[in-house]
Amino acid sequence: MNLNKYLDVAPEVKEALAAGKPVVALESTIISHGMPYPQNVETALQVESIIRENGAVPATIAVLGGRLKAGLSRDEIDYLGKTGTAVAKASRRDLPVLVAQGRDGATTVTTTMIIAHMAGISVFATGGIGGVHQGAETTMDISADLEELARTPVMVICAGAKSILDLGLTLEYLETHGVPVIGYGTEELPAFYTRKSGFNVDYRIDTPEELAKTFHVKQDMGLGGGMLVTNPIPEEFSMDADTINKAISEAVEEAKKLGIHGKETTPFLLAKIKDLTGGDSLASNIQLVFNNARLAAKTAAALSNLAKN
């Protein structure tokens, strides 16, 4: 089975991988579904720039015209930004249909991990992962991101699970599937917009070199699967916990009343929270992605050095 015949790796990314240079994968859902144009494109390009400034090559990932893409041009990023939510949000189940029909797809955490691994990229920076939704004991609404972390050997660097989720159950699910949850410089799981959640991570690690070594050893031992690194939002951009939790509760209640579920849930909740916080949540979202990109680039560089030795 050769999935790579469906894959296009951008020349810059291909050259970096061949030379053993550090590469960082980036998702594209944040471009098409995460924020309005042109802010989405500006943010995506700024994230790529931050990765370059920190010594790595960015590889924004998407599905375009039925081709799996590892590395996008500025024009392709602009296209995704302009087309916005008209681009399908692509999870694992969607890939065969989008490829077979020659369609476009913005990649979630799940599909970014899949395509990154196909291309040979081991480190991926995002905002936050999906997880177990509140009320999942009756709805069974659990993000495919968690299953992907269990099966695909990519390190995902994020600001924790989105605080619209049931964080306790999300951690339990990851533990059941053997996914290490690492706190970067913290023993407490960050909750996306805020630095604290009341839940502990499995391990605290304080340097990119330690992160790289831990991931390297996991793969070298043949344990497979991914690793989740939770990197708290910088203090100056962290939101007040009471303010954000109140907005989340209101948004969740409205989603229930409107019968919103499945893949529509997260975009609805994030848009509602943005409105309820007067745009503060979007500003925090952008800053935490920048912060994760910096750490991912440094970690990818450390992993690249390990591979050479």
Separation CA 246–CA 18 (nearest Å): 49
CA angle 163, 121, 131 (to 5 degrees): 20
Is 191 in a helix, a strand, or coil? strand
Q: 68 forms bridges with which residues in the sheet?
A: 7, 63
Catalytic residue set = 27, 162
Spatial separation of the C-alpha atoms in residues 52 and 42, rounded to whole Å: 15
Give the contacts of 129 (CB within 8 A, at least 6 positions apart).
109, 143, 145, 146, 149, 156, 158, 160, 161, 162, 228
Strand partners, 165: 133
Could you give the CA distance from residue 76 to residue 78 in angstroms, rounded to a whole number?
A: 5
Angstrom distance (rounded) from CA 158 to CA 128: 5
| CA distance linking residue 181 with residue 178, whole number of Å | 9
Give the C-alpha separation, 119 to 125, whole Å.
Answer: 16
Cβ atoms < 10 Å from Cβ of 61 = 27
- Nearest partner of 114 among 134, 98, 132, 136, judged by Cα: 98
Rounded CA gap, 145 and 150, in Å? 9
